[in-house]
Structure 1
């Protein structure tokens, strides 16, 4: 390495975060002029960033300086400035829609300082906008059903859930299926006096699982679960300004 360029490179690297090869290339291009090499470097980075993000050169330079010319951090910084948290989540998770909805759900909880005791208490969410209330209650019920079971989930805030399905997502058929399944469950529980002991409860649950109509409604939910996620994702996207 030319000793003059070596000394110049050390000076240049103290001024900008540039690698050995790139630094030497710019110094050779500028005949060892450190100031011009630095200018070339800045212009290259600004052009690269502007092309990747479609922002102006001024905005690109501002974020580059802020992030010590790290392209990855710069793009992240630009995105954080021009997108909301929910938009960033939707962009990041792409077609992983259920995962995106989970992330938005927890972002809402953090933004609104919502404390959960394992499962959310729906009555504590009444002060939220109707859009965020819809997302939280439906995602919580979906997660509850996944964790517990369809049978147990029918006793978890079902009236609120079915109202959201009907009024917010236009899924009246699914809402009715859940209500009918719940009605069948209640009838069998009452018939077998499940409040009088575990044996009665076991008898009732066995009859429930053998009930063809109940099985039909449970299958209907399983088959429409992906539609529910899709519709909820569309709902959030259409009301993006109501989310963090």
Structure 2
């Protein structure tokens, strides 16, 4: 350690969060002038922050002081000030669209204090904006289908979901496929009187899985699932002000 500036370095480190080597470099540059070294440090940190965020030097300085000159925390603080929660999620997850949609979904639930009993009750979502309602209902149905199965998902809020597919996402073909698959399922369930016992249900399920038309509609859903995610993501980004 350069003992010439030992005392000045101790003073400087009490004033700003600067490392040993950086502090000595600035003190050597300013011939031991603590005030000048501190000024250099602050200017360097402001310039670095402005370069990373494109904000004004005044904004950069304010956030640097607030976060004790920690660059990572400063950038996060600036982003939180100029972006909404949904914008931050979209920026963070980029092309990982389904993951981003999941995060926005949970943000809506938290912001609106929506309680779930494992699965959402769609009646609890009526006060949301049309776009937020669309996101939550469609994502919940997708998650339900992933967790249960396509067959079981056809019994879960199908009319609400298909209506959203048509009205909000402009996916009439997919909505029609889901409705037709649901109709085939309903006929086979009623025909085999599944409420009469598990054997009847198994029989109906086997017939359903062997039904060529039903298979076609299920395949349509699986093939268009990525399109559904893309359309839902576009709905969010195009209406960002309707989300948290």
- Is the structural similarity TM-score above 0.5? yes
**Corresponding residue for 2:93?**
93
**Corresponding residue for 2:162?**
162
Cα distance in 1, alignment partners of residues 225 and 183 from structure 2: 20
Question: Greater shift after overlay, 3-12 or 133-142?
Answer: 3-12
**Corresponding residue for 2:104?**
104
Deviation of the 1:193 alpha carbon:
1.1
After superposition, where does 1:176-215 map in structure 2 within 5 Å?
A: 176-215=176-215
Unaligned runs of at least 5 residues, structure 2: none
- What CA deviation, in whole Å up to 9, does each residue of 1:200-228 have, x standing for no partner? 11000000001111011101101100000
TM-score normalised according to structure 2 size: 0.99
TM-score normalised according to structure 1 size: 0.99
Cα distance in 2, alignment partners of residues 125 and 32 from structure 1: 64
Cα distance in 2, alignment partners of residues 142 and 215 from structure 1: 18
Does 2:237 match 1:237?
yes
- What CA deviation, in whole Å up to 9, does each residue of 1:69-90 have, x standing for no partner? 0000000000000000000000
**Corresponding residue for 1:119?**
119
Cα distance in 2, alignment partners of residues 4 and 76 from structure 1: 38
Deviation of the 1:54 alpha carbon:
0.6
Cα distance in 2, alignment partners of residues 2 and 77 from structure 1: 36
Unaligned runs of at least 5 residues, structure 1: none
Q: Number of residues paired by the alignment?
A: 244
**Corresponding residue for 1:51?**
51
Deviation of the 1:4 alpha carbon:
2.7
**Corresponding residue for 2:65?**
65
- What CA deviation, in whole Å up to 9, does each residue of 1:45-68 have, x standing for no partner? 001101110100000000000000
Cα distance in 2, alignment partners of residues 2 and 206 from structure 1: 83
Contact 2:2 2:24 in 1 (8 A): no
Deviation of the 1:2 alpha carbon:
2.9
**Corresponding residue for 1:138?**
138
**Corresponding residue for 2:30?**
30
- What CA deviation, in whole Å up to 9, does each residue of 1:107-130 have, x standing for no partner? 000000000000000011111111
Question: Greater shift after overlay, 4-13 or 229-238?
Answer: 4-13
- What CA deviation, in whole Å up to 9, does each residue of 1:143-199 have, x standing for no partner? 000000000000000000000000000000000000000000011111111111110
Deviation of the 1:141 alpha carbon:
0.3
Query: Which 4+ residue blocks in structure 1 deviate beyond 2 angstroms?
Result: none
Cα distance in 1, alignment partners of residues 42 and 224 from structure 2: 53
RMSD of aligned residue pairs (Cα, Å):
0.6
SS at match of 1:116: coil
Deviation of the 1:6 alpha carbon:
1.4
